[in-house]
Amino acid sequence: MRTNMGIADRLIRTVIALSILVLYFMGIISGVVAIIGIVLSVIFLVTSMMSFCPLYKLFNFSTK
């Protein structure tokens, strides 16, 4: 699996994911919005750590 995410893309995804998690743990978001946000955060963090986004591969796109 070749990497297709650049450093800026990884950093932006990580910041967004951590922001959503902070909002959840502070009680600002809850319910369905919180569940969707947590799932999205996990996906963002995993793809950031792997430097690979399956959607980028599907659309033949790279930020690296």
Tokens of 38: 């947590």
C-alpha to C-alpha distance for 7 and 49, rounded to whole angstroms = 11
C-alpha to C-alpha distance for 19 and 53, rounded to whole angstroms = 20
Among residues of the chain, what percentage have pLDDT more than 70? 100
Q: Which of 43, 53, 14, 52 has the alpha carbon at shortest distance from 22?
A: 14
Q: Report the pLDDT averaged over residues 11-25.
A: 96
pLDDT digits (tens, 9 = 90+) for 46-60: 999 999 999 999 999
Is residue 62 a contact partner of residue 56, using CB atoms and an 8 Å limit?
A: yes
Banded model confidence at residue 38, pLDDT cuts 50, 70, 90: very high
pLDDT at 1 over 80: no
Q: Which of 54, 51, 57, 44 has the alpha carbon at shortest distance from 13?
A: 44
